[in-house]
Amino acid sequence: MTLSGEFSAHREPASGELTTVPIAHPLFEGAQARVPVKTDRPLARGPLELLKWIQERMPMFSAAREGNDAPKRNRRLRGKG
């Protein structure tokens, strides 16, 4: 899993080898951030754990700060929303 700009991986998405998963959080949405992942594959345990770690330990992504939006955001991170 890599957090990078769209320009850094332009061939893979164009060929269908990679796709992006939008992250439902104002900080990422405002920055046009995406997580590139393999097309039609769920995120592996490592990337899911990293996203969980970010949400739990970085105050700007904490569920407590966003109230009831956390369940929806978590579904989108898992690719179900």
- Tokens 């164009």 belong to which residue? 14
Burial class of residue 74 (count of CB atoms within 10 Å of its CB; 0-12, 13-18, 19+): middle
Pair of tokens at residue 3? 């957090």
Q: Which residues pair with 37 in a beta bridge?
A: 19
Say if residues 62 and 55 touch (Cβ distance below 8 Å).
yes
Dihedral sign, Cα of residue 47, residue 52, residue 57, residue 62: positive
User: Tell me: the pLDDT tens digits for 26-66?
Assistant: 776 666 556 677 778 888 888 888 888 877 877 766 654 45
pTM of the model: 0.35
